[in-house]
């Protein structure tokens, strides 16, 4: 296990823009690093979190052509926090539009948490366009996983923060917190909606670190927190919208055979309380071409130094992969 993680130095994009993906949605994208490097597509979490400059530092700028974008409704994409025409398969389609827009033949795809969901969904739909995958904090948006976080699993470890979370909901509605929160977040009472989005964000911030970071929890009260809570609730109440094409609680895992030969690395923390290790283990069994790395002493956040170190190692592993096949189209 790596003892120390050193991120690459900060860099700025050499290209960026807005790509109109529908009449309603326009996607913010940026490219940094080496224009002639191995294309690598970086997927942010949430859904709704948006990309951050910090993400660029996980990638060797001499080796990679680093592609970031903000998913529908998130970050700099417009309209902000828009939920119409906003499903997992819409995001998969957007990735294909961006790939073609940038002239990329194949790319490495990287995602953590919700980003891992989107990475896997994209690879299942477009395996021929993916050269390798790095995932961490594995999540497949199944009802069982959502129930763990918002229905009574993580509360066993964080009871004091759980009580704050459920306090927004009358006792008689707490048997289905997802529906109760959805009703209030998208209801007509603006103050109730604000209180619920804030409580949602604080709950997630409370449980994502190996050790509770109270300063981090107090930061979860801004536009980012509101957008993430609204978009997450939209996706989670619909279990990622996978039922529109696939079926069953394990809909995404059941499709892994479509991408099982793609090389990859799964980095998973043993004590991840947002995305428990069970899903990573089940994914590993269905994806024999991927290596599973279990970090023994960390939680969900990739900012934990041991998680950071393993994710960096996993990403570096593919910076010379099939370079002849990964040359961008001119």
Catalytic residues, which ones?
113, 272, 300
CA 264 from centre of chain: 16
Print burial letters for 84-112: b (CB count within 10 Å at least 16), e (below 16): eebbbbbbbbbbeebbeebebebbbbbbb
The H or E element that residue 123 is part of is: helix 114-125
CA distance 103 to 126: 16
Is the separation of the CB atoms in 227 and 86 below 8 Å?
no
In what order do the strands lie in the sheet containing 15-20?
15-20, 26-33, 64-69, 38-43, 107-112, 130-136, 264-269, 290-295
Assign residue 140 a region: left if phi > 0, alpha if psi is -120 to 50, beta otherwise? alpha
CA distance 137 to 111: 9
SS3 content of the chain, % helix, strand, coil (to 5): 40, 15, 40
Question: Residue 204, Cβ neighbours under 10 Å: how many?
Answer: 23
Q: What is the crossing angle of helices 223-236 and 177-185, to 10°?
A: 130
The DSSP string of 144-180 is HHHHHHHTTSGGGT-HHHHHHHHTTS-GGGGGGHHHH
The H or E element that residue 132 is part of is: strand 130-136
């Amino acid at each position: 296990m790596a003892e120390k993680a050193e991120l690459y130095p900060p860099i700025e994009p050499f290209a960026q823009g807005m790509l109109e993906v529908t009449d309603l949605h326009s996607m913010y994208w940026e490219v940094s690093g080496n224009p002639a490097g191995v294309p690598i597509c970086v997927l942010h979490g949430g859904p709704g979190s948006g990309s951050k400059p910090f993400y660029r530092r996980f990638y060797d700028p001499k080796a990679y052509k680093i592609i970031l974008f903000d998913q529908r409704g998130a970050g700099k994409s417009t309209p902000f926090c828009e939920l119409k025409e906003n499903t997992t398969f819409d995001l998969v389609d957007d990735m294909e539009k961006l790939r073609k827009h940038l002239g990329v033949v194949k790319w490495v795809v990287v995602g953590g948490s919700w980003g891992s969901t989107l990475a896997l969904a994209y690879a299942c739909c477009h395996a021929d366009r993916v050269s390798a995958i790095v995932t961490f904090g594995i999540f497949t948006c199944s009802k069982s996983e959502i129930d763990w976080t918002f229905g009574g699993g993580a509360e066993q470890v964080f009871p004091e923060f759980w009580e704050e979370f459920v306090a927004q909901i009358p006792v008689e509605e707490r048997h289905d917190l997802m529906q109760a929160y959805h009703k209030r977040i998208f209801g007509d009472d603006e103050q109730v909606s604000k209180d619920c989005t804030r409580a949602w964000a604080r709950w997630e911030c409370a449980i994502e670190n190996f050790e509770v970071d109270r300063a981090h929890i107090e930061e979860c009260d801004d536009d980012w927190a509101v957008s993430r809570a609204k978009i997450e609730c939209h996706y989670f109440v619909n279990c990622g919208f996978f039922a529109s094409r696939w079926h069953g609680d394990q809909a995404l895992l059941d499709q892994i055979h479509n991408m099982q030969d793609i090389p990859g690395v799964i980095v998973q923390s043993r004590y991840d309380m947002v995305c428990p290790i069970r899903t990573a283990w089940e994914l590993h069994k269905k994806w024999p071409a991927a290596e599973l790395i279990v970090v023994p002493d960390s939680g969900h956040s990739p900012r934990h130094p041991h998680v950071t170190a393993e994710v960096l190692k996993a990403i570096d592993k593919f910076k010379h992969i099939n370079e002849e096949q990964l040359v961008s189209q001119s």
